[in-house]
Amino acid sequence: MNKPTPSLVLRGIAISLFAVFQAALVDVGVVSAQAPVFISPQRVELFDNRRSEVLTVTNRTENTASYELALEDYSMSDKGVTVKVESLDYSARRLVRFSPRRFTLQPGQTQTIRVLGRRSGQLSDGTYRSHLVFRETANDEDLGGGDSGSGNTSFGIGFRFNIAIPVVVSVGESEGAVFLEEAEVVPEGVAVKFKREGNSDAVARVSVRWEKPNGKREDVVSDMVIRIYRERDWIERVLKTAWPGGEPPREGKLIITLSPESRSETDVLDELIAPLS
């Protein structure tokens, strides 16, 4: 597996030095509320009968922001963590075009990005995925405008964001499902092994209830979204929770339930009982 790209960049510009820290917000398709721009929708899905999507990007800061866009591949580890890779069996990069590739936004300004799907040719049925990365680039005002006017070297610290959203292309018939394999209590929560089946990424919501020896139940994990990429047959995740009293329970049982991603659907996809001893 390829190593993640470094996240620290140090730039020297004339007599003004500017340290830039890049935070990559990748995986799950949900852009952090801390991000300087708002992107909608936060996940692009293209199908044979719907080959285009329009993204809206809004600068919600008081500063001018410039971005360069690129399609990159991220793979999921067996712990459910995504890391950048140079190649991916189910990459969508050759199936997707987008425009523009760079833009600048004034405070409060909005930019639209058009994402287009190409014809898939001889690809087998299933989903193909890449991430559209919005990489913030330097502006003159970021770099302090060059000379500070004092004749002295100046040093500034600033944060620059890389924001990534998934772009998924469905070819032909695609279907994916998540199942529960096993679970155990650990000090920080509940460790669960999830299994994926099908020719697609799979997603579900997981909830955990603790049933006490007296029959009363208490929610310990509520509606956490679990997504497994197509290249993984299974992942293990620790669902973190604050145990009552600060210690994991030793009596009763845990009831782990999988439900559809949509909250409007109430079906139970899978359920696992984990006795505690």
Position 151 scores a pLDDT of 53
SS3 217: strand
**Mean pLDDT score, 227-241:** 95
Q: Which of 25-29, 40-44, 91-95, 179-183 has the lowest mean pLDDT?
A: 25-29
C-alpha pair distances (Å), 246 with each of 26, 69, 221, 249, 251: 31, 45, 15, 9, 15
- Tell me the whole-structure pTM to 2 decimals: 0.79
- Residue 168 contacts residue 127 (beta carbons within 8 Å): yes
Per-residue pLDDT for 96 more than 70? yes
Domains 8-171 and 176-275 share a fold: yes
Range of 27-31, 154-158, 172-176, 262-266 with top mean pLDDT: 172-176
For the chain, which residues make up each domain, given as ranges? 8-171, 176-275
User: Does the structural domain 8-171 have CATH classification 2.60.40.10?
Assistant: yes
Secondary-structure class of domain 176-275 per CATH: mainly beta
Per-residue pLDDT for 26 more than 50? no
